[in-house]
Amino acid sequence: MTNAIFVHHSDSTRYQFGEQHPFSPVRITLTLDLLQAAGALRSDQITSPSATADEEQLALVHRADYINAVQRLSLDNPAQEAAAAAGKYGLDTEDTPFFPGMHEAAATIAAGSIHAAELVMSGAATHAYHMAGGLHHAFPDRGAGFCVYNDAAVAIQYMRKTYGARVLYIDTDVHHGDGVQWSFYHDPDVCTYSIHETGKFLFPGTGFVHEKGADAGYGACFNIPMEPYTEDDSWLECFRSTITKIAEVFKPDIIVSQHGCDAHAYDPLSHIHCSMRIYQEMPAIIHELAHKHTNGRWVALGGGGYDWWRVVPRAWSLVWLTMTDHPIAQQLLHREDVPLPQSWLDKWAPASPEPLPESWLDDMSHVLPIPRRAEIEVKNRLTAAIAVQDL
């Protein structure tokens, strides 16, 4: 068995809403290049799905009329009737506009997440990482929040149908993992967990503590909404205390994690004030939980993250470094910072609108503390306690 496999298909970079759109595939290119420059990703560790996800696979989560609408809107010149119906399916907004080749690109991403799930559940690999995945806002009947097909939900449902697996889904994106939550809200064998900025102030406006599942699925849904301007210590305290307890009680067969990295202080689309430290420690915690509860079975996906240059490449790389027990990850665990590869900095610095960081972690010495730090920490601690009080 291989320890970890990196799943990537070049067609996933065709998932692009426009050059000015914040959800840019340049994030994937920058991260792949950083991992290779660091000597952390070899060609023999990379595999690709053999085909795009077919309609039967997409229909594990998505309605047939929605899949058909996506296909029709993916043509270079969609029929007037199809374009007129785009709004019904959430595909005419500034966030999630339809584009040529949309179905093929989104189906390729769904196929990558299914492939990662199959690699782990079949025993071919202990861990699998599909960085292009994590499109957690798509619903069975509509797209939303930059997401067309919900690859995470499709992969989870594939594992439920094929292997009868109990799945713990961990979402660390700053935005609530709503599409995955609602897809499994009635399923007691899929536990959805999301830590995010509170929906009181941030899209999608959901993910409150009282959302706990329904019917047989009640008690298999957990949300940890953090206050704006939460910092590293509070975020990590709430994450570790809740997810450790939940994993212990739920007893999953596999963990699927989504690693949106938009809770960083640099991110332009949220109000959380964390540093790269949370993106080093959260994968380490998940890795630890996988080896404790699931015989190591762990599928990791990408997600959001809109500071393409300074944050996403480091954060997404750290997931892979953790999965593979790379020496860099081990050094960072011991609080030793490590410089980024000079070749990567030299290559990309001219294109970056901001000076690139020179090391894997952030220098926080010049960052002023948030004035309401103590109040925020108390509120977050109370929220976390309420979220798991029934366990």
- Indicate the pLDDT class of residue 364, thresholds 50, 70 and 90: confident
Extract the tokens encoding 364. Answer: 């926080």
- Residue in this structure with the two tokens 């077919």, named with its chain if needed: 54
Mean pLDDT to the nearest integer, 25-29: 97
**How much is the pLDDT for 335?**
82
**What is the phi/psi pair of residue 86, to 5°?**
-60, -35
Instruction: Report pLDDT digits (tens) over 248-260.
Output: 999 999 999 999 9
Lowest mean pLDDT among 88-97, 266-275, 356-365: 356-365
CA angle 150, 122, 61 (to 5 degrees): 20
Q: Output the pLDDT for position 371.
A: 87
Tokens of 216: 């047989």
Q: Please report the pLDDT score of residue 363 as a whole number.
A: 87
- Asked whether the predicted pLDDT for residue 366 surpasses 90, the reply is no
Whether the model pTM is above 0.85: yes
pLDDT tens digits for 295-337?
A: 999 999 999 999 999 999 999 999 999 999 999 999 998 888 8
Where is average pLDDT lowest: 113-122, 334-343, 379-388?
Answer: 334-343
Paired tokens of 11: 């067609």
CA-only gyration radius of the chain, Å: 20
At residue 368, the pLDDT reads 79
Does the N-terminal peptide bond of residue 204 adopt cis geometry, omega within 30 degrees of 0?
Answer: yes
Residues 6+ apart with CB under 8 A from 138: 62, 144, 145, 147, 148, 149, 150, 153, 179
CB-CB neighbours of 51 under 10 Å: 12
Mean confidence (pLDDT) of the chain: 97
Confidence band for 78, pLDDT divided at 50, 70 and 90 = very high
pLDDT at 236: 98
Count of CB atoms within 10 A of residue 387's CB? 24
Provide the percentage of residues in the chain whose pLDDT is more than 90.
95
Q: Where are the beta strands (DSSP E) in the chain?
A: 2-7, 46-47, 125-130, 167-171, 190-197, 221-226, 254-258, 298-301
The neighbour count for residue 354, using CB atoms within 10 Å, is 10
Using alpha carbons only, give the angle 11, 353, 359 rounded to the nearest 5 degrees.
Answer: 85
d(CA 84, CA 106): 21
Q: How confident is the model at residue 41 (pLDDT cuts 50, 70, 90)?
A: very high
Q: Is 259 a catalytic residue?
A: no
Beta bridge partners of 191: 168
For 88-132, how does the pLDDT look when each residue is reduced to its tens digit (9 = 90+)? 999 999 999 999 999 999 999 999 999 999 999 999 999 999 999
List, for residues 160-183, the tens digit of each pLDDT value.
999 999 999 999 999 999 999 999
pLDDT at 2 over 90: no
Secondary structure letter of residue 51 according to DSSP: S
pLDDT of res. 1: 67
For residue 61, is pLDDT > 90? yes
Residues 381, 365: Cα–Cα separation, whole Å: 25
* Calpha distance 51→231 (Å, rounded): 42
Q: What value does the mean pLDDT take over residues 263-283? A: 97
Catalytic residue among 8, 115, 130, 137: 137
Q: How many CB atoms lie within 10 A of CB 236?
A: 18
Count of other CB atoms within 10 angstroms of residue 161: 11
Looking at the predicted structure, is the pLDDT value of residue 206 above 70?
yes
Residue with tokens 């967990």: 193
Tokens of 218: 């009640």
- pLDDT at res. 150: 98
Q: What dotted CATH number matches 2-387? A: 3.40.800.20
Task: Please say whether the beta carbons of 172 and 282 come within 8 A.
Answer: yes
Give the closest residue to 52 by CA, choosing from 133, 7, 109: 109
Say if residues 361 and 337 touch (Cβ distance below 8 Å).
Answer: yes
Q: Is 243 in contact with 390 (CB distance < 8 Å)?
A: no
pLDDT for the residue numbered 370: 87
Statement: residue 42 has pLDDT above 90:
yes
pLDDT at 391 over 90: yes
Residue ranges per domain, the chain? Answer: 2-387
